[in-house]
Amino acid sequence: MNSVSNLSLAANSSVGDIAFIDLKAQQRRIRPAVERRLQAVLDHGRYIAGPEIAELEQKIADFTGAAAAVACASGTAALIIPLLASGVGAGDAVFVPAFTYNATANAILLSGATPVFVDIDPQTFNMSADDLERRIDLVKAEGKLKPRVLMPVDLFGSPADYRVLSDIAERENMFLFADGAQSFGGRLDGRWVGDLAPATAVSFFPGKALGAYGDAGAILSRTENIKECWESIRWHGTCADRKDSVRVGFNGRMDSFQAAVLLEKLAIFEEELAARERIAEVYGARLSRVARPQQHARGARPGWGYYSLCVYNRERVLARLKAMGVPTAVYYTTPLHKMPAFAEYAPEGGLPATEKVAQEIFSLPMHPYLTPAQTDYICDAVESAVAANG
Ligand SMILES: Cc1ncc(COP(=O)(O)O)c(C=O)c1O
C-alpha cells in the first residue's frame, strides 16, 4: 500500500490540481462543436421549441432504448410532470427514499400527494425492498392514504433494483416512476436507465454525468402514448395547437440553447462513461480495503456521475483529504425526514440505515478527465487519511 501520510499540497502539484468535476477540461474538448451548435440557434432564432429539442429527444430515446423522451426545463420539472399526469393528489401515498435530494420530495408534495419515506439498503444506499414492503403494509393497515406511486431514486447513478421494485409495483397496482436524476448512463441487466421503469426523470444539471450549461432535464417513457400528455403539461397544459388549456400545466420546457449543448455532450457521452468506469474500477479495487464504497444491485452498472463511499470519522478523513488537495463532497448530511420542510412525514422510529449512512457517506472526485496519476494519488490519499484515523 502506498503511503502518502507525509504528502503536502506541494507534492500534490506533481499531479496538478484535482477537480471534483472538471467541466473546463470537457469544454476544451468540445468547444468548437458547441459554438457551432449555439451559432445555429442564434441563426434560426427559435430559442424555444427549436429543432434541437426534437433532435435531442430522439437521440436520448435512441440512446436509452426508451420509447419516448420529453425534454424539460430541469430534472425537477421532469419529476413533477409525470406525477401531475398520473393524477395523484390528496390522500395518495408516494413511496420514496429519504436519502435523496430535496427535489424528489418537493415534486411529490407539489403534486398534492404525500411522501411515505422508505429506508435504504445500507450497501447500495438505494430503496430497501424489505422496508418498502413493510411500509406499504403499514399504510394499508392505517387506511389514511392509498398506495399509488413507487418512486425509487438511483442514488449516485446506481440503478435501484427494478426487477424487485417492478414486481411490487405491479402487485400493488402502483405507478413505478424512477427518479433517475443522477443516473443517466446507468444500466441494469444490459438495459439503460430510461428503459427500466415505465417512466424515468433525468436531470441534466451542469454537474451531472450528462450536463447542460444551465438547467435541463428529461422524462423518458417505455411507451409512446404518454408523450402528448407530458408535452401538454410542459407547455402550460395546452392542447397541441397551444391555444386552449386542457389540463393544469406550467412552463416546464427546455430551451434550444441547452438542447444544443446537450447534443454535443451526448455525442461523447459513451466514451466519457467508459473513462468514468475505468476510474471507478481503480477506486473500487483499492478503496474497498479501507472504506465501504457503494455497492450495486446485481447486474447494475452505474452512470458514475459520483463515486461515494462510507468511512468512520468522516469529518476527520475529509479534513485530511482537503489538506492533501483532494476535493470531496457530502451528499447528504441530512436525510429528508430530518429537514424542517418534510419533518411531518418522518416515520415513527426513524430510518436507521438512512441515518447511519448519512453520517458516514462522502463522494470523491469523479469525472472522465481525471488522469491515472490523479486517480492513484486520490487512492493513496484516502488510504492515508483512513489509516490516520487509527
Ligand atoms: C435525486 C435528484 N432528484 C432530482 C433532482 C433535481 O434535478 P434538477 O436540479 O435538474 O432540477 C436532483 C438534482 O440534483 C437530484 O439529485
DSSP string, 308-343: EEE-SSHHHHHHHHHHTT---B-S-SS-GGGSTTTG
Q: Under DSSP, is residue 220 helix (H, G, I), strand (E, B) or coil?
A: strand
Is 53's C-beta closer than 6 angstroms to any atom of ligand 1?
no
Q: What's the gap in Å between 292 CA and the centre of ligand 1?
A: 25
255 and 279: one domain?
Answer: no
Going 165 to 160 to 176 to 129, the CA torsion angle's sign is positive
Beta bridge partners of 274: none
Instruction: Answer whether residue 1 shows pLDDT above 80.
Output: no
CA of 389 to the centre of ligand 1 (A): 33
Residue where a domain stops, chosen among 267, 294, 313: 267
In angstroms, rounded to a whole number, what is the distance separating the alpha carbons of residues 374 and 275? 13
Would the CB of 203 count as within 6 Å of ligand 1? yes
| CATH number of the domain encompassing residue 107 | 3.40.640.10
Whether 4 is covered by a domain: the verdict is: no
Total domains, the chain: 2
Note down the domain range covering 355: 9-23+268-387
Inter-residue contact 199 to 175 (CB < 8 Å): yes
- The protein residue whose alpha carbon is closest to atom 12 in ligand 1 is 181
Residue 111 pLDDT > 80, yes or no?
A: yes
Q: How far is the CA of 55 from the centre of ligand 1 (A)?
A: 23
From 76, 83, 99, 213, give the residue whose CB has the most ligand 1 atoms within 8 Å, as the site to mutate.
Answer: 76
Q: Hey, is 21 helix, strand or coil?
A: coil
Q: Is the pLDDT of residue 6 over 80?
A: no
* Contact of 104 with 78, CB cutoff 8 Å: no
**Does 73 sit in the ligand 1 pocket, CB within 6 Å?**
no
The average pLDDT across 146-175 equals: 98
Helix, strand, or coil here: 264? helix
Residues 291 and 377 in one domain: yes
76 Cα–ligand 1 center, Å: 6
The response to whether residue 101 sits with its C-beta less than 6 Å from ligand 1 reads: yes
Ligand 1 in contact with 308 (CB < 6 A)?
Answer: no
DSSP state of 63: H
Cβ of 179 below 6 Å from ligand 1? yes
Question: Distance from the CA of 16 to the center of ligand 1, in angstroms?
Answer: 30
Please indicate, yes or no, whether residues 170 and 223 belong to a single structural domain of this protein.
Answer: yes
> Beta strand pairing status for 146-150 and 92-97?
parallel
Confirm if 99 and 123 have CB atoms less than 8 A apart. no
Contact 302, 280 (CB under 8 A): yes
Ligand 1 pocket, 80 CB below 6 A? Answer: no
pTM above 0.75, yes or no: yes
pLDDT, tens digit (0-9, with 9 covering 90-100), for 112-142: 999 999 999 999 999 999 999 999 999 999 9
Query: How far apart are alpha carbons 103 and 116 in whole angstroms?
Result: 15
DSSP symbols for 76-133: HHHHHHHHHHHT--TTEEEEEESSS-HHHHHHHHHTT-EEEEEPBPTTT-SBPHHHHH
Residue 100 CA, closest ligand 1 atom number? 1
- How sure is the predictor about 11, in pLDDT bands with cuts at 50, 70 and 90? low
Q: Which of 267, 297, 316 is the last residue of a domain?
A: 267
Counting Cα atoms < 13 Å in the Cβ hemisphere of 243 gives: 1
Residue 178 in contact with ligand 1 by CB distance below 6 A: no
- Cβ atoms of 160 and 303 closer than 8 Å: no
Determine the pLDDT at residue 12: 52
Q: Which of 21, 182, 204, 258 to mutate to test the pocket of ligand 1 (most atoms within 8 A of CB)?
A: 182
Quick check: CB of 181 below 6 Å from ligand 1?
Answer: yes
What tens digit of pLDDT does each residue of 143-160 get? 999 999 999 999 999 999
For ligand 1, atom 10, which residue shows the shortest CA distance? 75
Q: Is 121 in the pocket of ligand 1 (CB under 6 A)?
A: no
Task: Please say which residue of 267, 282, 305 terminates a domain.
Answer: 267
Q: What is the C-alpha separation between 283 and 288, in angstroms, rounded?
A: 8
Residue 70 CA: distances (Å) to CA of 10, 153, 206, 333: 48, 19, 18, 32
Decide whether any atom of ligand 1 lies within 6 Å of the 114 Cβ.
Answer: no
- Return d(Cα 153, Cα 128) in angstroms, integer: 11
Between CA 21 and CA 30 the distance in angstroms is 16
**C-alpha distances out from residue 57 to 69, 76, 107, 198, Å:** 5, 17, 22, 17
CB 78 within 8 A of CB 203: yes
Please state, in angstroms and rounded to a whole number, the distance separating the CA atoms of residues 17 and 40. 35
The whole-number pLDDT of residue 4 equals 46
Burial of 296 (0-12, 13-18, 19+ CB in 10 A): buried
What would the pLDDT profile of 321-366 be if each residue is shown by its tens digit?
Answer: 999 999 999 999 999 999 999 999 999 999 999 999 999 999 999 9
Whether residues 320 and 205 share a domain: the answer is: no
Residue 14: the pLDDT is 76
- Max CA pair span of the chain: 69
Same domain? 152 vs 257: yes
Q: Would you state the pLDDT for residue 323?
A: 96
* Pocket lining: 98 vs ligand 1, CB cutoff 6 Å: no
Q: Is 74 near ligand 1, meaning CB less than 6 Å away?
A: yes
Reported as a single tens digit per residue, the pLDDT across 222-253 is 999 999 999 999 999 999 899 999 999 999 99
Residue among 286, 285, 280, 281 at smallest CA distance from 384:
286
CA-182 nearest atom, ligand 1: 16
Mean pLDDT, the chain, whole residue set: 96
Planar angle of CA 209, 210, 214, nearest 5 degrees:
115
Q: Is 354 in the pocket of ligand 1 (CB under 6 A)?
A: no
What's CA 113's distance to the chain center, in Å? 22
* Distance from residue 77's CA to the centre of ligand 1 (Å): 9
CA distances from 250 to 10, 80, 225, 231, 344 (A): 52, 10, 20, 10, 27
* Percentage of the chain lying above the pLDDT 70 cut: 96
Q: Is the same domain home to 16 and 137?
A: no
94 lies in the same domain as 52: yes
Q: What is the mean pLDDT of residues 72-96?
A: 98
185 & 284 share domain: no
| 205 pocket-lining for ligand 1 (C-beta < 6 Å) | yes
Closest CA to 64 of 277, 366, 275, 273: 273
Q: Is 2 part of a structural domain of the chain?
A: no
Residue 47 cell numbers, joined: 430559442
Answer yes or no: do 279 and 156 share one domain.
no
